[in-house]
Amino acid sequence: MGTGTWSETQKPTIPGMYNRFMWAAENTLAQGTNGIVAMPVKADWGPVKEVVSVTTLTELKNKFGSNTDLTAYRLGRLALLGNPKELLLYRLADSNAKTASITLKDTTADTPVDVIELETIYPTTRDFNVSIKADIISETVTDITLYEGAEQLYVFKVSGTIDDIVNAINSNEENVWLKASKVADGTGLASIVNQPLTGGNNGTDSITNEEYMDAMSTFEGYKIDGFTLDGVSDAALQAAVQAWVDKNKTNGANILCFMGAAKDTDIDIVNTQSKAFNDEAITNIGVSGIYEGVEYSPAEVACYITGLAVGKGIKDSIVNQATIFEDVSPKLTRTQVETALAAGTLVLVNEQQSVIVVDDVNTLKKFADGQSEALGYIRAVKFLYTVDADTSAKRSDFIGQTNNDDIGQKVVISALKKYFETLQGAGVIKDDFTVEIDKELQANAKSDEFYWKWSATYVNVMKKIFGTGYVQ
């Protein structure tokens, strides 16, 4: 079923419900997005080139490891601290990615035979090692103990033939680390102490923009509200991301994208980048943030801001929002902050020991015909995207089910009015909204086409309070 945008010169041919939003004299606003963030990452654990959902830090650690030198945990954690509903991660890997393994020998004294190969489930360089010894309680049981470094992860208690041991390891529901395969028959397993699994490769040394583009293509199969790179500030990749976001918007998938510059990039250069984007869907972060004593570049801070922004509810804003950061770098002057906001650069400042988001600007600051200045702010764009998604979702109630006559059209309009009445009742829009048939376009519509339009007055959040004092 088709969704997306349309114009008089380019009408979709797939049956569906298509929205075109003509912004009225002032801003409009509505419900927030669902808060699903997508991010390609580098890791030393987890499925390669697959989308994996996490909602907690514990899930993140279990599914992708806790290596802070790689971006899955270090920046996935930042995104989760922004409190999105869900985080979708795609593990990037180059052609060198490889699992680690160890071959276990039997107990034959003269010429030990290789009998079992243990292999990590995922490509990795994690410091796994194995010890094998007889169980202290039962003489017929062998303990295969898996360690990461000096930390014991699990003890496999096995017995029987080589086939029995392999089956016991592979069928263990608690085993999330290893898979076993039989090499040859044997009489049992020889004892070893902390022997490492070797030959593994994370596949992170030669990742190119092509791998990122593959990740983005995969994300197209999922419902996502926000997208961010894992701290990458490469200009060519960011341009490709913008083109991808705009393509998805045309195809009916609205995505808010958050990016940023490299560490120590001059704010004037960041502002130039923001002006080059000039896109309602692109937010560009301009300063670094310090969290738990670690400085994160603007491109890394973007991961946190993504979770923070798309996770907000129907009437919430990130304007003046306190963040997790302890400090910022650089500390911008008032003039620099004003210049950044005018350029469409989102910045943080340290105000009375609390690091806050100054304003929820995106990079759209040069407005085309039919665009309101409201589109230059994240909260209003979320409204636009949400109305698009929510009203398009009603297509299942009408497409192919309702006659395209006077009665059927009134049924559709009535249902859509109920939606806007809900927003009005919540104080999101004023009560002067209109939802009606677009008579001008409907006059020349084909027999299976129906055109409608809406207009509403935006209820903004209070951003500036001006006081006047008189002393007698």
Reference 284, options 339, 241, 345; nearest CA is: 345
Structure confidence by residue, pLDDT tens digits, 278-315: 999 999 999 999 999 999 999 999 999 999 999 987 67
Q: Which two tokens stand for residue 277?
A: 């984007």
Among 418, 458, 414, smallest CA distance to 436 is for 414
pLDDT given for residue 472 in this prediction: 72
Fold of 101-196: Immunoglobulin-like (2.60.40)
Residue 150: closest CA among 131, 168, 134: 131
Assigned token pair, 226: 């926000």
Interatomic CA distance for residues 414 and 456, integer angstroms: 16
Give the residues of the chain that fall short of pLDDT 50: 20-33
Give the per-residue pLDDT at 21: 36
Are 444 and 438 spatial neighbours (Cβ–Cβ below 8 Å)?
no
What is residue 12's predicted lDDT score, i.e. its pLDDT?
A: 65
Helices (H), 295-449: 298-310, 334-343, 378-393, 395-398, 406-425, 439-442
Q: Kindly give the pairing relationship between strand 354-357 and strand 345-346.
A: unpaired
Residue 25's pLDDT is what? 23
> What is the structure's pLDDT at 252?
84
What architecture is the 36-93+205-357 domain classified under in CATH? Answer: 3-Layer(aba) Sandwich (3.40)
> What distance in Å separates the CA atoms of residue 59 and residue 388, rounded to the nearest whole number?
32
Domain boundaries, the chain: 36-93+205-357, 101-196
Query: What integer pLDDT is reported at residue 23 of this predicted model?
Result: 33
pTM given for the model: 0.85
Quote the CA–CA distance of 458 and 374 in Å, as a whole number.
9
Cα distance between residue 303 and residue 79, in whole Å: 5
* 418 alpha-carbon distance from chain centroid: 32
Q: Is the peptide bond before 330 cis (omega within 30 degrees of 0)?
A: yes
